[in-house]
A and B are shown apart, each in its own frame.
Chain A
Amino acid sequence: EVQLVDSGGGLVKPGGSLRLSCAASGFTFRSYSMNWVRQAPGKGLEWVSSISSGGSYVYSSDSVKGRFTISRNNAKNSLYLQMNSLRAEDTAVYYCARSGSGDPHDAFDIWGQGTMVTVSS
């Protein structure tokens, strides 16, 4: 079964750090671009960051640039999001999602179940 399992969320104070993980199974992880998308409580979807299949190319939204870093370990079939200098407005459910091909310009066809990040003092 093709599956993504998100983990690593929790409660963190403003200015703190957190590292999210996404474990992939059921497909050839190294062949696909990957993404992080977030959803604040009661709000819509917001794209956060993307990484190419080999990890050479990364893209991030302006709202997280310089604070969040996307990375991957193809040997471990895992995607990561290192989040530093967290702010209250980063509070959201974070989803990892697979691009439908190796091309980063593709829709997100498989999604993780999401992991909640709460930034509060």
Chain B
Amino acid sequence: EIVMTQSPATLSVSPGERATLSCRASQSVSSNLAWYQQKPGQTPRLLIYGASTRATGIPARFSGSGSGTEFSLTISSLQSEDFAVYYCQQYNTWPYTFGQGTKLEIK
């Protein structure tokens, strides 16, 4: 099983600032990596797939990068609605696995 490790567990950032979240895979997942956003009491929402392609309707301030085992999600200028939990997921190899999540909170 591929283990996905996200860091940090919690990230405190002020609105308007830049946030960078990291995700590491225990073995290569090529570019088969997705990022999801989940707000309290809500369903997960796909942000990025293929490591760097924004999903439909996702603002340009969200960007993803990386391949192989190292990935990152960057939010260029944080808006109030961006404070949430973010999960990475590999869909390269069964069983599909999620990271444990990074909670992005207001500083």
Contacts and interface: CB of A to CB of B under 8 A. Distances in A.
Interface residues of A, number: 23
A35 B46 CA distance: 14
Interface residues of B, number: 25
B28 to A, nearest CB: 14
A89 interface: no
Chain A binding site: helix, strand, loop or mixed by DSSP?
strand
Given A105-B32, A107-B49, A107-B91, A47 B44 contact: no
A59 B87 contact: no
B87 A44 contact: yes
Contacts of B95: 47, 59, 61-62
Interface of A: 35, 37, 44-47, 50, 59, 61-62, 95, 97, 99-100, 105-109, 111-114
Interface of B: 1, 32, 34, 36, 38, 43-46, 49-50, 55-56, 87, 89, 91-92, 94-101
